[in-house]
A and B are shown apart, each in its own frame.
Chain A
């Protein structure tokens, strides 16, 4: 019995024929903690937006696990939107409103501009954390609605992306 081979339509970034874009990243929590120890505020302020730092603070201290989850989400978004050569700061990609099951990714500045050039997308972000690892997946579906670069492009309750100028 023979069957046609299954061939992925694109190598990198992961873009399906439908235009759906996918990015995933896996981060070791202990490595994030090492960066915090080695570089202190230079690491956290360079990588994370002020809101992310606030959301990642537990009992007055930054939590490496929460930061790892956010770092993974940023990298997943970079892969989904093919931003690795866009020349953007990590803090321009912000995970907000994370409730343990879902949240929103907000793109600022050049990150927003680069993503907007690809068109409007409904975007979902999911994450998991276990065994000292934090994983995030971003899936972006082409959105037929005409919306500007500052518009909210996702109506999903749990995952919403807002593009900011």
Chain B
């Protein structure tokens, strides 16, 4: 499993546990709109906190935007900025 694949799997696991999506997080397209899939503003808070725990990072305020949590790809992009290389 590549690093990206591992990252994706962990993101999707967090979404499955905390996103309360109407669709299966494991099979969502990378760019699928999570809000269209049922993510609420409150659930996005839970997803953010769970991602912070899972990856031992902290989202700074400037990254707390709707678009950062809008898709698996967007979350991955944000996390790659936060996870030390």
Contact with A along B43-58 (1 / 0, CB 8 A): 1011001101000000
Tell me whether A42 and B49 are in contact (CB under 8 A): yes
Cβ-closest chain A residue relative to B63? A87
CB distance A87 to B64 under 8 Å? yes
A59 at interface (Cβ–Cβ under 8 A)? no
Q: A25-B41, A75-B41 are in contact. Are A85 and B65 (CB under 8 A)?
A: yes
In Å, the complex CA distance between A110 and B61 comes to 9
Within 8 A of B (CB), among A63-100: 71, 75, 78, 84-90, 92
Q: Name the residue in B45, B62, B65 with the highest tally of chain A Cβ atoms < 10 Å from its Cβ.
A: B45
Q: Is the CB of A85 within 8 A of B42?
A: no
Task: List residues of chain A with CB within 8 A of the CB of B36.
Answer: none
- Contact digits for B20-56, partner A, Cβ 8 Å, 1 yes 0 no: 0000000000000000000001110110011010000
- Residues on the A chain within 8 Å of B62, using CB: 87, 110
Interface residues on A, range: 20 to 34
Q: Is the CB of B67 within 8 A of A32?
A: no
Cβ-based interface call for A22 (8 A) = no
Given contacts A25-B41, A75-B41, is CB(A86)–CB(B65) below 8 Å? yes
User: How many A-B pairs fall under 8 Å by CB?
Assistant: 48
Q: Is the CB of B64 within 8 A of A89?
A: yes
Q: How far is the CB of A107 from chain B (nearest CB, A)?
A: 14
Residues of A near B65 (CB, < 8 A) are 84-87
- Known A-B contacts A42-B49, A43-B49, A46-B49; A35 and B64 likewise in contact (beta carbons under 8 Å): no
List, in ascending order, chain B residues with CB within 8 A of A85's CB: 65-67
Residues on B lying within 8 angstroms of A by beta carbon are: 18, 41-43, 45-46, 49-50, 52, 61-67
User: What are 14 of the A-B contact pairs (CB < 8 Å)?
Assistant: A25-B41, A31-B42, A31-B43, A32-B42, A35-B49, A38-B49, A39-B50, A46-B45, A46-B49, A47-B45, A71-B42, A84-B66, A85-B67, A110-B62
